[in-house]
A and B are shown apart, each in its own frame.
Chain A
Amino acid sequence: MDYEVKLEIFEGPLDLLLHLIHKNEVDIFDIPIATIADQYLEYLELMKVFNINVAGDFLLMASTLVHIKSKMLLPSPNAEDDGEDPRVEIMRPLLEYMQFKEVAEAFSEREILDRDVFARKDLGDYRSQLEDEEVELDVNLFQLMDAFKRVVDERLPGVQLTVELEQWSVKEKAEQITALLRERGATFFDQLFKEDRTVSEFVVTFLAILELVHLGLVKVFQAAADGQIQLIPDFEKNGEHGDG
C-alpha cells in the first residue's frame, strides 16, 4: 500500500542531531561521532518505514556524518595536522541553531500580548482569531518516534520493522482512534497500541496518530522530558473528524 505521511515536517536534521545529543547526554564539543552517526541512520531508516518523506537535507546530513566518522577513524597523514577537528563541520551549525533555540525559549517567556497581558481591543477580533489557530506538535516527531520504538520493543522484542500495510488501512485506524478518544478523552500513547499484534498494525497505528495530529484533531503532550506522551482530542474546533 502506498501511504505517505503528509505531516509537514518542521523538524530538520539539526533537530534530530540535538535530540540525539540530549538523549545520549553527550557534550556538544565532544560528540561521539560514531555513536551519533549510527543512531542518526537508524532514525532515517525508521522514517523510511513510516514512509515519512525524508527530505534531501536529512540525507545530506547523513552523508556528512558518515564522512566525519570515516575522517575520525583515519590517522591524520601528518602529525602536525593542518585541519581542525572534522566535527566542527556539524558543531558550528548546531551551536548557531542552539543560540536561536534559546532565543525562542526566551521569547516564549516574555509577557506576551493576548496570552499573559491584555490591552484594549475590539472583542470581535478575538473571535476571528480562533479560526487561524495553527496545528502544532508539543512533542516533536523524534520524541514520538522514540515512544513508538519503546512500545514496539516492549511488545514485539527483536522484530524487524518493515512496511507491509495491506491489511490495515491508516484511515480506518484513524477512525478507531477518533472514536476511542471521543469516548475516553485524554489517552496515553501506549494505550492506543493495546490491540495491535503485528508490526504492520503498530506502524499503521503510529501513522494514524501522525495523520490525526496533522489534521489538527489531536494534540500531543508530554508532561516531562521522559514522561508519558498523552493524546488529547481536539475535535470541536475542526468540526467533525475529517476522513482524509
Chain B
Amino acid sequence: MQAIGGYGLQIEVLLVEDNPGDARLTQEAFREANASIRMHVACDGVEAMAFLRHEGEHFHAPRPDLILLDLNMPKMDGREVLALIKADDSLKLIPTVILTTSDSAADIAHSYELQANCYLNKPVQLAEFETLVKSINDFWLTKVRLPQRLPT
C-alpha cells in the first residue's frame, strides 16, 4: 500500500492531547504499529494552532498528514481547534480524527457538525487502546488516500 509511504517520507501525525500519560501511551502504541510515523504532540489547543500555522518555535513544523484531536483541553478546547482547522482553507483538508474519553452523544454529533472526519472513543483498558491505535494506523495511514502534502 503506497498511500502515504509512496513518498518515501515519514508520516507526520499531530496528536493534540493534554494528558502526558495518554500522550506517551499513544506515541508508544503508534511506534509499535508503524515505524514510519513521526508523531508530534501539542498539549493544548493554542499550541496545536501554533504548530499548524508554523508560528513561533513551530516555524519548521511539518504539515501533518493526520490530526488526532482530544476534545477537553486547557486554553483552547478541541471543538474550537476543530472549528478553526475546518474554517481555514490551507488546513481544512487535513483529516481530523477526534480521540477522546467523552462518549456523549452531544459531543459526537457536535464533532461531526464541525466536520470532524471521524470520532473515536478512547478505551480505558490499555489492550483495547492498543487495538484502536492499530485500527487507526491500518485504516487512516494504510488504506485511506489522504490529500497529498503541498510543497511548502
Q: Answer whether A and B are interacting partners.
A: no
Residues of chain B having any CB pair with chain A under 8 Å: none
